[in-house]
Chains A and B, each alone.
Chain A
């Protein structure tokens, strides 16, 4: 039973460039989440999907951020016109909406973004 995987693990980009991250959830998990974590802080919620539907978005998710989960499996998070303030670890998590302890969110290794 493989865990949540994220690609790439590290990304260095220049300010103003667009970047895209991918997340593959635990198989058969129908909920998928994106969080952002800056140095010395806990993860902050960005958005979540149940199957293909994006059901909740944080105010942290500015217009430059967009997330998709087109077939209810993997998800992508795109940041357009990156800014230095976007430098952070982007974490993906997944859970099973079956309820009980299966609704616990399990996290991937994260994608560390550095904007120069």
Chain B
């Protein structure tokens, strides 16, 4: 069975602080895909990144960076110099290769205080 754990339920930071959102996953598959989605108060899930299990290269996109470590089954997400617009619920998710079902974690609610 697939499982995604986001242990941090809520995080509050002051604007311009860096913040890391943790994600730990469980799967027996050797090939899988990991995702991060953002859900602002409006409710629409916004795709942020996809990472294949065979590609452990970390990625940076502007103020966002992702650290994928297969050895610890973690796929953490860091926002540098946070902004109020980053306030949202962030979901980490997992999909098995060959299947379409995406398994989501319970989300981390990030509040950036001005």
Contact check, A40 vs B44: say whether CB atoms are below 8 A apart: no
Contact check, A42 vs B93: say whether CB atoms are below 8 A apart: yes
Residues of A within 8 A of B104 (CB): 42-44
Contact check, A45 vs B43: say whether CB atoms are below 8 A apart: no
Main secondary structure, interface of A, reads: strand
B interface footprint on A40-57 (CB within 8 Å = 1, 0 otherwise): 111111001000000110
Q: Does B102 contact A (CB under 8 A)?
A: yes
Residues of A within 8 A of B43 (CB): 89, 109-110, 112
Q: Does A91 contact B (CB under 8 A)?
A: yes
A interface footprint on B48-63 (CB within 8 Å = 1, 0 otherwise): 0010000000000000
Interface residues on A, range: 20 to 34
Name the segment of A17-25, A70-78, A79-87, A98-106 touching the other chain. A98-106
Q: Give B16-56 interface residues, CB cut-off 8 Å to A.
A: 35, 37, 42-47, 50
**Which of A42, A44, A45, A109 has the most chain B CB atoms inside 10 A of its CB?**
A42
Residues of B within 8 A of A107 (CB): 37, 44-47
Contact check, A45 vs B101: say whether CB atoms are below 8 A apart: yes
- Partner-A contacts on B (CB < 8 A): 4, 35, 37, 42-47, 50, 91, 93, 99-107
Pull 26 A–B residue pairs with CB atoms less than 8 Å apart, ordered by A.
Answer: A31-B100, A33-B102, A40-B106, A40-B107, A41-B107, A42-B93, A42-B104, A42-B105, A42-B106, A42-B107, A44-B104, A45-B101, A48-B100, A56-B99, A56-B100, A58-B101, A89-B43, A91-B45, A93-B45, A104-B47, A107-B44, A107-B45, A108-B44, A109-B44, A110-B43, A110-B44
- Partner-B contacts on A (CB < 8 A): 31, 33, 40-45, 48, 55-56, 58, 89, 91, 93, 95, 101, 104-110, 112
